[in-house]
Structure 1
């Protein structure tokens, strides 16, 4: 699956880059504090997650002003500016209602949009969000993290990576740390995180009339699960699903269960744990994993680059719901001649 990148503009002329992948009903994705459309598509875990969402939808993602491919801006972050940027992207869609998913800080933006524009949203998904930024962490912790980002962006991004993805493999954490630093400057990163802490949508929850799913991981280290409960209790008829895990990033940890939960709510076919048979290339990769090969060794053996090898490994892992290479190796050793994935 490929993505196409285009540009929209807010009413004041701020450029907003957005990407589309897949086909079907639009699913607009409001990301957390930082993003980069091109670089995120190169991260195996993140791309596999997005491709799963785009299997039955046209997935639309965008970079906030000052982040990724979007233009820099002198405007300070605010909820009003967030909604203006989302409006610019929504204006590129047709007149039919779309599905809307907000993750992390994006969940609050999605709530505000659904409250103000109820006729535009068919279904609303809130993952890893909160109702009050002040409740995310004690004031002293918030000030410490903001100061760390401002003075030591490299160290700050590594600390946040440990908070966002504590269960991820070391290679993924290293990639994500570099990814955050490539998304924006330290100044922009600090300003966006400060907005995360400042936003408050408690008073808007009662205005949301869209069918809503609130999803959260039980031990999310970045956003307490109590805030997910606050979101669900404040929105009439909202459904709350708490999944096991500590990772705040949606594509870290057991991404398969999250994808299944979201797709079922949106009315899409829930993906199976794995296809009946692996593709020829995936079979080759699984065989090499069972031999104990690293991604670099797989790349050399197959004549592909290391990033492609990582992508194949991650797609196998996500489709089968595996959390480690050892599980892939064990499955291959016992199921390579069978057509059904493990139960």
Structure 2
């Protein structure tokens, strides 16, 4: 039976079959985001009120309507799927005060051209044509979003919480990382399960799951052997991957890293109390969105930032995942422990850490350097957990990293 097919630009949307293609290639879109897009296209002759969309997306679910934040995420994903963005709005336009309208010139047909085979891809608005966000499936079926940037030998960065592939290139917290890491390199990065553009339905969340996610990305990109960079929580995953997949990891770089989460490494009652207080403050911030709690949490990542920058950090993190997932990340990573396998790492390892890291004490870097054979430790003058673009530690970090990879 023929179905309603909408063509706009180089995109074809089969609304009945819920399929989107670009130049004959299927575009992998989160199902609810595709439903959102279909509704806007089907009602393109009018402004669709936000409340109507919230009711629509909540229909048939435990809640009668989706939250404002959830709707914003679906809108962003729908825009991304068709090369649009919150700032461009060339296809989906926000109409104040509370509505959206699909404004692209559209033709309606009844057949859909066959898509060619290949990995589904979504172009990132404003990026070069060769850069795409792609999707693969982990061993348990979880959708993982990944991107490849730059040219040259590969460098894979393990996922860590607080990333969003569609936003990171323009976020002050991360933008300079990609500019620096792609110097003469092909950077492969991906969003954690439950985070960014990967599936927010986390399901299982074990260390084995996170290793399998990285394996799926490496397979999808076609990598056999590569250097691996782990940042913050992602460093524990990098250590585990280097142990479980030694044939694939040529070099290991760990920064702002720890082998044991805060609750695991607490050795006495005072440290256990401090770990629980820290976790409770983070929980309170995520649940209440109270600025005082959120600023405290942000200051641990960016100790030298201003209150306005902490607020921007908090706003960004709300875009990366749901409150429920954010709380689960906090709790799971506070209990992660790779200290019993770290001495099985066999590849050359570089550990770089801020001397006065407010989030992860420098003692954790010392522990990793002690545990991992053939490792070297570099301490940099900084108070930030994540190196910022304008501090002297940042170019020093890049120099050490690139020299290490060139060996």
Q: TM-score range by the shorter chain?
A: 0.7 to 0.9
Match of 2:297 in 1: 160
Matched, 1:77 2:214: no
2:177 paired with 1:38: no
Give 3-state SS (helix, strand or coil) of 1:266's partner.
Answer: helix
Deviations 1:297-334 (A, max 9, x none): xxxxxxxxxxxxxxxxxxxxxxxxxxxxxxxxxxxxxx
Equivalent in 257, 270, 274 of residue 129 of structure 1: 257
Aligned to 2:280: 144
Q: Offset at 1:88?
A: 1.1
Map 1:1-343 onto structure 2 (within 5 A): 2=128, 3-133=131-261, 134-135=264-265, 138-155=274-291, 156-251=293-388, 253=391, 254-267=393-406
Superposed CA RMSD = 2.0
- Shift of residue 18 of structure 1? 0.6
Structure 1 window deviating more from structure 2 (77-86 vs 144-153): it is 144-153
Deviation at 1:234, TM superposition (A): 0.5
Which piece of structure 1 moves more, 65-74 or 97-106?
Answer: 65-74
> 1:206–1:221: structure 2 CA closer, same or farther, 3 Å change rule?
same
Say which SS state the counterpart of residue 118 (structure 1) adopts: coil
CA displacement 1:264-319 (0-9 Å, x = unmatched) = 11118xxxxxxxxxxxxxxxxxxxxxxxxxxxxxxxxxxxxxxxxxxxxxxxxxxx
Determine the C-alpha separation between the residues in 1 that align with 2:202 and 2:237: 20
CA separation in 2, counterparts of 1:129 and 1:152?
29
- Give distance in 1, aligned partners of 2:226 and 2:237: 15
Q: Secondary structure at the match of 1:122?
A: strand
Count residues with an aligned counterpart. Answer: 268
Whichever structure has more helix as a proportion of its residues is 1
How far apart in 2 are the matches of 1:248 and 1:48? 15
Offset, 1:29: 0.6
Q: Structure 1 length normalisation: TM-score?
A: 0.73
Say which is worse superposed, 201-210 or 86-95, in terms of deviation: 86-95
Unmatched runs of 5 consecutive residues or more in structure 1: 269-343
Q: How many Å separate the matches in 1 of 2:290 and 2:134?
A: 30
Q: Secondary structure at the match of 2:396?
A: helix
Structure 1 residue 174, shift from structure 2 partner? 3.0
Identify which of structures 1 and 2 has the higher relative contact order when contacts are C-alpha pairs closer than 8 Å and 6+ apart.
1
Change over 3 Å in CA distance of 1:77–1:251 after alignment to 2 = farther
CA pair 224-205 structure 1, distance change in 2 beyond 3 A: same
Structure with more of its chain in strand, by fraction: 2
What SS does the corresponding residue of 2:167 show, helix, strand or coil?
helix
Contact 1:154 1:181 in 2 (8 A): no
CA distance in 1, matches of 2:379, 2:166: 31
Distance in 2 between the 1:93 and 1:216 partners?
Answer: 29
Partner of 1:255, secondary structure, is helix
Instruction: State the TM-score, normalized to the length of structure 2.
Output: 0.62
CA positional deviation for 1:148 = 1.5
SS of the residue corresponding to residue 101 of structure 1 reads strand
Q: Give the structure with higher Rg (CA).
A: 2
